[in-house]
Structure 1
Amino acid sequence: MKLLLRTFAAEFVFAGILADCLAMLLLVILMVRFPPLILVVAMAFWICPKVRNTAHL
């Protein structure tokens, strides 16, 4: 039973990693196809830490 649970958990971890890799690949393809998205992603990485810091005040 414990082996079955570990196998099931490993399958979920593998599916999550695969989905994350596919999402990153899709984001890179979209950024190459639509260059303004590079600016949007860069601004998001710049703004998010500032928003988090102001939320703690």
Structure 2
Amino acid sequence: MALLRFLLCLFAFVGALAAAGTLVVSIMLMLRFPPLLVAVLLACWILNRPLKVLSASIQSNPSKNTAT
């Protein structure tokens, strides 16, 4: 059981390091190539619009929320 817990912690640590490395590399690429930064900002803005509409519709009519 201790070996299983160690492997789980090891995989979690390696996953966190990989995620941090990916984040750093993507930020470096966005700073190196400004059109990529513009594309990411535009994608975030486009994603934010439907999320606002969805959250407003959920808050105005909570009885239709079947997830809870």
- Tell me which residue corresponds to 1:36: 35
- Tell me which residue corresponds to 1:8: 7
Residue deviations 1:14-39, cap 9 Å, x none? 01100001101111110111011111
Q: Name the TM-score, length of structure 2 as normaliser.
A: 0.66
SS at match of 2:28: helix
Question: Unaligned 5+ residue runs, structure 2?
Answer: 55-68
**C-alpha deviation, 1:49, in angstroms:** 3.9
For residues 13 and 45 of structure 1, what CA distance do their matches in structure 2 show?
28
- Of structures 1 and 2, the one scoring higher in RCO (CA 8 A, sep 6+) is 1
Does 43-52 or 27-36 show the bigger shift?
Answer: 43-52
4+ residue runs of structure 1 moved beyond 6 angstroms? none
Q: Supply the AA of the counterpart residue of 1:23.
A: T
Over the matched positions of the two proteins, sequence identity in percent amounts to 37
Q: Name the TM-score, length of structure 1 as normaliser.
A: 0.77
